Amino acid sequence: MGVLKCLHDVNLEVKSDRAKLMYSSFVPEILKFDACKIHVSESCIRYYLSLFRLMDMEACYNGLLAYDSDFSSLMRLLITPCNSGVERRHAASPSVIVIGGGFAGIAAARALHDASFQVVLLESRDRIGGRVHTDNSLGFPVDLGASWLHGVCKENPLAPVIGRLGLPLYRTSGENSVLYDHDLESYALFDMDGHQVPQDLVKNVGETFESILKETDSVRQEYSEDMSISRAISIVFERRPEFSGIYAEWKVGLLQMLILSHSKAGIRQVFLFSPHHFIPDFMKNTLLVFHRKQEFKEVLLPGGHGLMVRGYLPVINTLAKGLDIRLNHRVTKIMRRSNGVKVTVEDGRTFFADATVVAVPLGVLKSNSIKFEPRLPGWKEAAIAELGVGIENKIVLHFENVFWPKVEFLGVVAETSYRCSYFLNLHKATGHSVLVYMPAGQLARDIEKMSDEAAANFAFIQLKKILPDASAPINYLVSHWGADVNSLGSYSYDAVGKPHDLYERLRIPVDNLFFAGEATSVDYPGSVHGAYSTGLMAAEDCRMRVLERYGELDLFQPVMGEETPVSIPLLISRM
Ligand SMILES: Cc1cc2nc3c(=O)[nH]c(=O)nc-3n(C[C@H](O)[C@H](O)[C@H](O)COP(=O)(O)OP(=O)(O)OC[C@H]3O[C@@H](n4cnc5c(N)ncnc54)[C@H](O)[C@@H]3O)c2cc1C
């Protein structure tokens, strides 16, 4: 009762038309004013509580108070003013807690907010974006996580927002490139002694590699069982002895490099994240996936690959505008009940809602740092366990001036993947004197054990191998996607011999829990646009589920699809 009294005493500023409408049933005069302050009465509270379908006042009060210890948030839950510009047609909306503020979570929260849901987003870090992290500490934007838009085309779900923001992209490769995000001619490759590999040899090995890949596609069609890529390539070598010349001299290293670079393609990071090395080890039974019955190009959007010149931050900030986002809220427990979901954060505070969208990384789900009560069904737990998580990191080296060749990619070729390394030249795309070293797999894991200074030094030593006169960097940034408790990995991947439906199983809702994130994307896992689409999908599933249940389906805006956004062409260039 003390609390209801307390609610009595609260002065609320009523500014929006929606809030006015809500109160007009109690205070009809309110409609005459543009803005006013009112006292919230007990009957008013009862009315809203009934709309929340929680008729027991005391339980309701306890529940609502527990919703957030911050009293103003409690009031915000009860009386949410209209602030999105989308017409609201109902006084009390279903509520949703979105967990994770990466592209998937923000997309889900945005869509549900725009569909008139009450949305609270809980994010464990002190920033949003997740594996999209544009750092500005060097005085200009550098992406420590995702930096490419894979598929510069209007079919890309992110194209409307990037186009509307007028953000420039820098094309690093076309869609038919043998490599994933770089054209072959934009490389300068060196051996371990610092000798540059002649360009015609790079081209020659590149063409052979392309033929080998084509052949592996035929092999894939012939076999019904799963097969590692390494096995498929070894079958190609058996059938086509002419390819074996590729083993000569540093061609091995070159092929190694091509595989390494290619590995993010449709068949993706599987090479990168193999716990084994590739050639000559790649003949061994490496844990690579080859079970998708589609050509790898089909899982890529058309249009080639464009670097986000100003970073991804403006995109995520735009999508997050106006959302109720609670930073530094690490979720530790999710309890689902027939009438809703209770979510607990690290400091013990609890939040209640009709449903939850879980958009945390697969690595976090695997770590069991979030307890589900009751436990998730076995098929879901198995999908979490069986999908793999790999690591790629970025070591950003900022130099006083540019002393390297005017190419987009500088590579060190070596006989094992572990010793291969490469640098992305950001100067070409952005004008800043920056090289980004990108270790992956075991090398990335080992580097994560070093201090940032030692990691930057390691990258610089690799650079000195190919450019002995390189001057030391003036600044550096180092990512730790594998060790960071908020990500525990960089990308998901599927492994040989595991069921084919793991991504789909990870996506499928469990009662009022909806799942989003790159690892739930059947079509585009491991990408920003994939994560974004899964957020929209989870939001739509959630909207249908919650509203079907409450029988108010016609009252709310659809999450996606009805309004076709004006298509603004993407701004892509190449110097
Ligand atoms: C180095 C690197 C380079 C990449 N390059 C590209 C690229 O060029 N192009 C591309 O398309 N993709 C790229 N990717 C992949 C892309 O970044 C991801 O696929 C995408 O950003 C994942 O988005 P998400 O929302 O699924 O997950 P995340 O972005 O990881 O978001 C999950 C969120 O959940 C939060 N969280 C974790 N635990 C909790 C908890 N307990 N409670 C509350 N919140 C929690 C995290 O802090 C995070 O904000 C790259 C990734 C990496 C690591």
Q: Are 116 and 556 in contact (CB under 8 A)?
A: yes
Ligand 1 pocket: which of 327, 366, 528, 533 to mutate (most atoms within 8 A of CB): 528
Confidence of residue 99 (pLDDT cuts 50, 70, 90): very high
- Assess whether the C-beta atom of 326 lies below 6 angstroms from ligand 1: no
**Best-predicted range by mean pLDDT among 250-259, 285-294, 562-571?**
562-571
SS3 214: helix
Higher pLDDT, 516 or 75: 516
Q: Which residues are annotated as a binding site for FAD?
A: 331
SS3 286: coil
The pLDDT tens digits for 184-198 are 667 788 877 788 877
The structural domains of the chain, with segments of one domain joined by +, span 1-83, 201-303
DSSP 351-375: EEESEEEE---HHHHHTT-SEEESP
Q: Are 494 and 507 in contact (CB under 8 A)?
A: no
User: Residue 305: beta bridge partners?
Assistant: 150, 173
CA–centroid distance, residue 361 to ligand 1 (Å) = 7
**Rounded-to-integer distance, Cα 286 and Cα 299, Å:** 23
- Assess whether the C-beta atom of 448 lies below 6 angstroms from ligand 1: no
Strands 11-14 and 168-173: unpaired
Q: Is the pTM of this model over 0.80?
A: no
Confidence of residue 486 (pLDDT cuts 50, 70, 90): very high
Confidence of residue 417 (pLDDT cuts 50, 70, 90): low
Give how far Cα 437 sits from Cα of 188, 277, 316, Å. Answer: 14, 19, 25
Q: Which residue's CA is the nearest one to ligand 1's atom 50?
A: 146
Q: Across all residues in the chain, what is the average pLDDT?
A: 76
Residue 160, C-beta contacts closer than 8 angstroms, at least 6 positions apart: 565, 566, 567, 568
> What atom in ligand 1 is closest to the CA of residue 517?
26
Higher pLDDT, 204 or 172: 172
Mean local confidence (pLDDT), 460-468: 91
The pLDDT tens digits for 217-242 are 777 677 766 666 667 777 877 888 77
Q: What phi and psi values does residue 211 have, to the nearest 5 degrees?
A: -65, -40
Q: Are 412 and 478 in contact (CB under 8 A)?
A: no
Q: In one letter, which amino acid is 416?
A: T
> What atom in ligand 1 is closest to the CA of residue 525?
19
Say yes or no to pLDDT of 64 above 90. Answer: no
Q: Are 339 and 364 in contact (CB under 8 A)?
A: no
Residue tagged 């940032």 (tokens):
452
Confidence of residue 211 (pLDDT cuts 50, 70, 90): confident
Confidence of residue 492 (pLDDT cuts 50, 70, 90): confident
Can you give the pLDDT at residue 89? 36
CA–centroid distance, residue 157 to ligand 1 (Å) = 17
Burial (Cβ within 10 Å: 0-12, 13-18, ≥19) of residue 87: exposed
Ligand 1 pocket: which of 122, 263, 269, 360 to mutate (most atoms within 8 A of CB): 360
**Rounded-to-integer distance, Cα 486 and Cα 325, Å:** 16
Q: Which long-range contacts (C-beta less than 8 Å, at least 24 apart) are formed by 207-211? A: 207/178, 208/243, 208/246, 208/255, 209/178, 209/255, 209/258, 209/259, 209/262, 210/178, 211/243
Neighbour tally for 140: CB within 10 Å:
16
Residue tagged 């013990």 (tokens):
348
DSSP 506-556: HHS-BTTEEE-SGGG-SSSTTSHHHHHHHHHHHHHHHHHHHHHHHT-GGGS
Can you give the pLDDT at residue 27? 53
Least confidently predicted of 192-196, 430-434, 502-506: 192-196
Can you give the pLDDT at residue 81? 33
Q: At 13, which helix (H) or strand (E)?
A: strand 11-14
The size of the chain, in residues, is: 575
CA–centroid distance, residue 131 to ligand 1 (Å) = 3
Q: Which DSSP symbol is given to 572?
A: E
What count of Cα atoms within 13 Å lies in the side-chain half-sphere of residue 38? 23
Q: At 121, which helix (H) or strand (E)?
A: strand 118-122
The pLDDT tens digits for 106-116 are 999 999 999 98
